[in-house]
């Protein structure tokens, strides 16, 4: 999960309030760089773009469907999360 995390990716989220509070449903139209799972939350789908602007599936490429509650999922340097489906609980997007 910690691969491709550069200083700019961490600068984007460090010390910031969440840009979105995500309930248990599908969310689209996002431009976020990390997801913090709250208690009882999990991810069933998460897509975005890689550094070259190509479609990227975080669930299959980074195994994010195995993430547990209270986990911080950082997309990585120059990756962008554009949609996510949360089941159970809430999550915070940065």
Residue 10 pLDDT exceeds 60? no
More confident call, 41 vs 14: 41
User: Does residue 60 fall inside a structural domain?
Assistant: yes
**Among residues 60, 23, 29, 30, which one has the least CA distance to residue 45?**
60
Q: What angle do CA 44, 50, 56 make, to 5 degrees?
A: 30
Structural domain harbouring 55: 7-93
Q: Is residue 17 part of a domain?
A: yes
* 2 within some domain: no
pTM score: 0.80
Q: Is the pLDDT of residue 59 over 90?
A: yes
């Amino acid at each position: 999960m910690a691969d491709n995390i550069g200083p700019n990716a961490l600068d984007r989220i460090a010390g910031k309030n969440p840009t979105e509070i995500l309930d248990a449903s599908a969310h689209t139209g996002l431009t976020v760089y990390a997801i913090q799972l709250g208690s009882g939350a999990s991810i069933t789908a998460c897509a975005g773009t890689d550094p070259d602007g190509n479609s990227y599936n975080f669930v299959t490429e980074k195994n994010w469907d195995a993430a547990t509650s209270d986990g911080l999922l950082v997309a990585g340097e120059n990756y962008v999360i554009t949609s996510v489906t949360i089941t159970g609980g809430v999550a915070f997007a940065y």
